[in-house]
Chain A
Amino acid sequence: MHSDARPPLGLTLAAIGGLLFLHLPIVLIFLYAFTTEDRSYQFPPPDLTTKWFGVAWNRADIWPPLYLSLRVAAISSGLALVLGTLCAAAMARARFFGRDTVSLLVVLPIALPGIITGMSLRSAFAIADIPFSTWTIVLGHATFCIVIVYNNAVARFRRLGSSMLEASADLGANSFQTFRHVILPNLGSALLAGGMLAFALSFDEVIVTTFTAGQQSTLPIWMLNELVRPRQRPVTNVVAIVVFMATFLPILAAYYLTRGGEETAGGGK
């Protein structure tokens, strides 16, 4: 939707102000990673140093949570990728009884507050006597990641339409060939994007995780502990930068993936 009219100045300023409001605070995270003051959040920092990166690298308590977070995010986004795509494919195929229930069920884990998902899983683990492990974390993460993949896939399925699938069958392809040669190439970038967003979401999740991790520590849980009981504050900032980049880069990649897809499809119209 384009308008030839020029935007009112007030609107432009408000919009740019809104964007700045969203972005400027992040800059501070970077700034404070270089401060020499490690006992308070004094602004402006008295002096700047790069020593905290080395200190963080040598802190042994950071690495295990990092590995755990990576493992959980990889497994969860993989599971979500399969489950979300299957669900989107079924929804794209046919109108069936209970469609609305399915779409509600998929969106519920993200629409209801994370504390409910967390508390529910915790109750269930208690009742079923399931000990905490990597898998208890994965169970929660995969559940709320499904919707991310699903949303990406369902939108692409909708754009794909049914006549292209019919054309493929008409030309002699069986269901599996249609999947490989028509659905997958058209869905691929959306799935990759969905998978990366799911990875970012899982890597960063803290609320559900606090209920399903037990004594284990993911990187966000490590950070949370540091926030409540700070030790070397700039080290927390260094880790925050790592976490930020680990979510930022997949999102950026996901954007370029889906943007390319839209361009092709848009040109096809």
Chain B
Amino acid sequence: MNAAVEFLSVSRHFGQVRAVDRVDMTIAEGSFFAMLGPSGSGKTTCLRLISGFEKPSGGAIRIFGEDMGEVPPNRRHVNTVFQDYALFPHMNVRDNVAYGLMVKGVDRRARHGKAEEMLALVKLDGFGDRKPAQLSGGQRQRVALARALVNEPRVLLLDEPLGALDLKLREAMQDELKALQQRLGITFVFVTHDQGEALSMADRVAVFNEGRIAQIGTPAEVYDRPATRFVADFVGSSNVLPPALTQAFGGPARWASLRPEAIRLSTGPEARAKGRVTALRYLGAGTRVALETGGQEIAVLVPAGVPVPEVGATSGLTWDASALHVMEEA
């Protein structure tokens, strides 16, 4: 599979701050790629490096094999859906969507036709004459999407695309974006700080921390086999075990992660460890039980329907040996 975007030891410094620090990554053509991380982790800067709004302080960026060192944003085959949508307030929706074609010199009829086509694609038929100010947040986001797609980019960048939408709309848009990406078959790269969004939409996830990539892999890999303590903690709040506890739990003397949902409460002989219940949190689909064992707090997700012990009670814990994931680095 071809590489759509390649980062070769890319750095971006702002004064003393290393926003992006020697990042290497490859984004495969046709993939739905998520850059996940807390704010200030460098993910947005990486997105802006791809679009060309930032220039690397060091290293090189290639898009479809071509070095982008001398290519300004307007000549890149890449388009962006901005976090604040950045629609042009003085143009109606149709002209907004047709903008990319207009600056290319496409004549009025042709570009308006194409704009309507794009509006239909994002289910906004008939909104062409409205001004952006007359649209709802979700509608504006669709216009931004249509506008970015009109140039038929080979890579579409999305900066926190769902951040400004309410929960229900966000979930609907997640499905729609995924379907759209599959239909168009182009590369989507999106930035998010929401791990649920990254895991559910992307087929590859890069987890950013302090300007570097902590781990890159499929959602399952990142979730089940976190490479570092940071990833384990940030993606799905796993139990991070220090070496001593890992050993007590039957592993090597290394840092390890153990998913809350991989642990079962058990009083039988198969119990691998014992703990005292310190807190309960009812989540609807289950209950999160916090137990204290070996001086460490361990969270267990008990599915609905399974009896839950009381606070102060002692309970055994068990898990499949394969669930205990020993991390490569600390």
Taking the complex as a whole, does A directly touch B, i.e. does some CB pair lie under 8 Å apart?
yes
Contact bitstring B204-225, A, C-beta under 8 A = 1, else 0: 0000000000000000000000
Are A169 and B72 in contact, with the CB atoms below 8 A? yes
Q: A169 and B86 in contact (CB under 8 A), knowing A181-B99, A268-B133?
A: no
> Of all chain B residues, which has the CB nearest A167?
B86
CB-CB nearest in chain B for A182: B88
Q: A164-B86, A166-B82, A186-B89 are in contact. Are A181 and B103 (CB under 8 A)?
A: yes
Stretch touching chain A among B73-81, B177-185, B267-275, B276-284: B73-81
The answer to the question of A91 belonging to the interface, with a C-beta cut-off of 8 Å to chain B, is no
A120 to B201 alpha-carbon distance, docked (Å) = 68
Q: Which residues of A contact B73 (CB under 8 A)?
A: 166, 169-170
The interface residues of chain A lying within 8 Å CB-to-CB of B109 are none
Residues of chain B within 8 A (CB-CB) of A182 are 88
Is A264 an interface residue, CB under 8 A from the partner?
yes
B103 touches A167 (CB 8 A): no
Interface residues on A, range: 20 to 34
Q: Please pick, from A173, A181, A185, A268, the residue contacting B132 in the complex, using a CB distance under 8 A.
A: A268
**Known contacts A172-B100, A173-B74, A173-B103; is A167 also within 8 Å of B82 by CB?**
yes
**Taking each of A168, A170, A172, which has the highest tally of chain B beta carbons within 10 Å of its own beta carbon?**
A170
Contacts of A264 in B (CB 8 A): 89-90, 131, 133
Given A163-B82, A169-B73, the answer on whether A185 and B90 have CB atoms closer than 8 Å is: yes
Q: Chain B residues with Cβ under 8 A from A46's Cβ?
A: none
Which residues of A lie under 8 Å from residue B72 when comparing CB positions? 169
A265 at interface by CB-CB < 8 Å:
yes
CA distance A172 to B103 in the complex (A): 7
Question: Of all chain B residues, which has the CB nearest A266?
Answer: B133
A177 at the binding interface (Cβ < 8 Å) = yes
Taking CB atoms, residues of chain A closer than 8 Å to B79 are 170-171
Q: How far is the CB of B150 from chain A (nearest CB, A)?
A: 8
Does B84 belong to the interface (CB within 8 Å)? yes
**Residues B133 and A267 in contact, CB atoms below 8 Å apart:** yes
Q: Is A174 an interface residue (CB 8 A)?
A: yes
Within 8 A of A (CB), among B80-100: 80, 82-84, 86-90, 99-100
Does B287 belong to the interface (CB within 8 Å)?
A: no
Q: Which residues of the other chain, A, contact B168 by a CB distance below 8 angstroms?
A: none
| B80 to chain A: closest residue by CB | A170
Interface centre among A167, A182, A186, A265 (most CB of B within 10 A): A167
CB distance from B89 to the nearest CB of A (A): 5
**Which B residues lie within 8 Å of A161 (CB)?**
86
Q: How distant is the Cα of A112 from the Cα of B82 in the complex, in angstroms?
A: 44
Jot down 30 A-B pairs with beta carbons below 8 A, ordered by A: A163-B84, A164-B86, A166-B51, A166-B80, A166-B82, A167-B86, A167-B87, A167-B147, A169-B53, A170-B73, A170-B74, A171-B99, A171-B100, A171-B103, A171-B147, A171-B150, A171-B151, A172-B75, A172-B103, A173-B74, A173-B103, A177-B103, A182-B88, A186-B90, A264-B89, A264-B90, A267-B133, A267-B134, A268-B89, A268-B133
Q: Given A169-B74, A170-B53, 10 more contacts at CB 8 Å?
A: A166-B51, A166-B86, A167-B82, A172-B74, A172-B103, A182-B88, A186-B90, A264-B131, A265-B89, A267-B134
Interface residues of A (CB under 8 A from B): 161, 163-164, 166-174, 177, 181-182, 185-186, 264-265, 267-268
The 3 residue pairs across chains A and B that have the minimum distance between CB atoms: A171-B100, A167-B86, A267-B133
